[in-house]
Amino acid sequence: MSAGIRLPQTRLDDLAAQLRTGSGVGVETLRADLTVAADVAQVAQRLSSDPAISLLVNNAGIAMIGPLIGSEPQRLEKMISLNVVAVTQLAVAAATAFAARGRGTLINIASVLALAPERYNGAYSGTKAYVLNLTQALEQELSPRGVRVQVVLPGATRTELWARAGIDISYLPPGMVMEVDEMVDAALAGLDLCETVTIPSLPDMLEWDVLNTMRLDLVPLLSLKYAAARYAEDATFSA
């Protein structure tokens, strides 16, 4: 499956041959452009109907460069269609099938920018925050039904995403950019550790746990009958 670009069938076939040779497992390719609704529906149908599928890695995505102001509406729509709509439809299709069977693993790929909306492009980081929220909600639904759920938040990783977004990755400090194999190995290690959220670069996941606990502590205070005292008409403000 491609991230908005129809990959040549020969490229998919070459990758399948490498996997067969390297692992000895059977590999079948399904060519689809996940920015096209009909193609997404085709993949979702396969996820829903094939009991041999027990794992989905939802990793297709595209990015944009530059500020939101002045962005091309068509490019924004295409990015949101892939990063949000397609991801959701495929995640729900897989989750529904896995839950019915009482087994399966769903892995969604987000980004550390889900936690840093001030950095990079706001719409892109917004799509990745969506994926984080979606996965956390799905984990609550699926874990009691025997389905494992993980969201991976990579930092800058050396993939084709940069060139497709018109970004020269060589301008980033080398210490910021992780190689693909390193990131994938860390993600799989996080899965083995039963992490719902995996941040490959974060030295101590206690940092995430603290942040998440603070977020959860806010929840009971977010919807109350009365507005906070600071918004009262007679509130006193100092200059």
For the chain, the structural domain boundaries read 34-205
Whether residue 210 has pLDDT greater than 60: yes
Whether residue 153 has pLDDT greater than 80: yes
Count of Cβ atoms closer than 10 Å to residue 182 Cβ: 14
Whether residue 201 has pLDDT greater than 70: yes
The residue with greater pLDDT, 239 or 200, is 200
Which helix (H) or strand (E) element contains residue 44?
Answer: helix 37-49
Average pLDDT over all residues of the chain: 90
Q: How many helices (H) and strands (E) does the chain have?
A: 8, 4
Whether residue 163 has pLDDT greater than 80: no
CATH 3.40.50.720 fits 34-205, yes or no: yes
Q: What is the pLDDT of residue 12?
A: 86
pLDDT confidence of 66, banded at 50, 70, 90?
A: confident
Q: What is the pLDDT of residue 4?
A: 47
Structure tokens at 78: 């295409």
Tens digit of pLDDT for each residue in 106-134? 999 999 999 998 888 889 999 999 999 99
Q: Is 167 helix (H, G, I), strand (E, B) or coil?
A: coil
126, 178, 179, 223 from 166: Cα distances, Å: 19, 19, 19, 42
Q: What is the pLDDT of residue 26?
A: 86
Q: What is the pLDDT of residue 238?
A: 59
For the segment 16-29, the average pLDDT, to the nearest whole number, is 88
Whether residue 19 has pLDDT greater than 60: yes
The whole model's pTM is what?
0.88
Q: Which of 120, 124, 130, 231 is catalytic?
A: 124
Active-site residue, 124 included:
yes
**Worst-scoring range by mean pLDDT, 3-7, 41-45, 73-77?**
3-7
For the segment 28-57, the average pLDDT, to the nearest whole number, is 95
Angle at 98 between CA 92 and CA 100, to 5 degrees: 105
Q: What is the pLDDT of residue 1?
A: 47
CB 56 within 8 A of CB 43: no
**Angstrom distance (rounded) from CA 159 to CA 139:** 28
Whether residue 140 has pLDDT greater than 50: yes
Q: What is the pLDDT of residue 181?
A: 92
